[in-house]
Amino acid sequence: MELNKHKYYEHVEANVRPIIEKHNLLSHKKKYILNKILSFISSDLNNYKNDRKKDAKEAIFSELLKFFGDFEFKRDHTLPFQYLQNSMIIPEHTGYASEDRITGVFNNTKIDIAEIALVKRSDEKNIAVFKGLVIVLDICNSNLVLRGSFKGNTVLFADHKKHLDYIKKKFKGYKRLEPPVKHLEDRFEMYTTDEKEANKIICKKLLKSFISLSEYIGNLQEQITHSDDKHELFCKQLKKEREEQGNKNQPLWWEKVVDEVSEVKTAKLSDIYKEDPLYGTSEMESLNNDIACSFYGDKVLLTIRHPHDLFEPNPINEDPIIDEDIELMYHLMSAVCEITNVILENKSSKK
């Protein structure tokens, strides 16, 4: 199946825009009206926000996904951890959480996509060791003609040469391979227990697909941070106006959230992701956009670190879903479908 972006946007205009409009209850409200609502019905607004999240996310994203086939989006569904535990690329952790799960079948391959967070208890506090997107391909779907597990385990991850001793210890018994593309030697590290199989599966086209998806999601970081800052300024202005009007009541729920976000932003980056050298260091550039992949058993696992919730609705003063969200779904699903096709082609080839 070849994905056509023009047809995707035809699907958006015909089937998705009407749903967005249905949920866009506040798009034409003036700021002062919203201010009054926020000041006097905070509990009702909290309920509205939760309902809006559930309705908007599931209805709009599910309709977007119909373009790609038999897929559905469930905000509260958890990706079973057993899908991940034998992959060798999941950091050591004590807590696991998952949400915003996409499930479906493409080219007879079961696909699971979810946002996950992993934490590790250290010095009586929880340290985040991973937050981001995971993509699981099940190549042993009962309908798949090319059924069969991988003979060995192969892992691929962002290059962290400064932690070479740690990597050698973690992948004891694995053989280090050079990436099939010369100029990517400084981008990826590859280790495998089956050299022949690894060289068959991992090719230039597959790595380019990994990089394209990783860089697209990485570029979202700057856009989302800008949006977060805008929303924070908006809420602080409303808080200031409320206090100037003499309303000194307890802070509203959304004001508490803004304060918490501000506190997180000022936290020391060196305390985040330092627990596992393979999956990040204290350096800013390694916190986001790291990509890793594992071929094991009957599954392929792809992880992309990203600090924000990719599928979260926009603030209450904006449309629930904007054009960037629609674009994200196209890029994500197109990349996943392409990666699936390349892996199946390589696995079935006779080379």
Q: pLDDT per residue over 95-109, tens digit each?
A: 899 999 999 999 888
pLDDT at 130: 86
Tokens of 212: 């394209």
Give the C-alpha separation, 201 to 43, whole Å: 54
Task: Please report the sign of the dihedral spanned by the C-alpha atoms of residue 134, residue 140, residue 144, residue 150.
Answer: positive
Write the CB contacts of 184 (distance below 8 Å, at least 6 apart in sequence): 207
Write the CB contacts of 242 (distance below 8 Å, at least 6 apart in sequence): 35, 38, 39
Write the CB contacts of 254 (distance below 8 Å, at least 6 apart in sequence): 38, 42, 45, 49, 235, 316
pLDDT over threshold 70, residue 229: no
Radius of gyration of the chain (CA): 22
- Section 130-144 average pLDDT: 79
Domain around 116: 5-348
Q: Between 37 and 88, where is the model more confident?
A: 88
- Section 118-141 average pLDDT: 84
pLDDT at 14: 96
Write the CB contacts of 80 (distance below 8 Å, at least 6 apart in sequence): none
pLDDT over threshold 80, residue 341: yes
- Section 134-146 average pLDDT: 71
pLDDT at 28: 45
pLDDT over threshold 90, residue 195: yes
Q: Between 309 and 164, where is the model more confident?
A: 309
- How many domains does the chain contain in total? 1
Q: pLDDT per residue over 264-274, tens digit each?
A: 443 333 343 44
Provide the mean pLDDT of the chain: 75
pLDDT at 245: 61
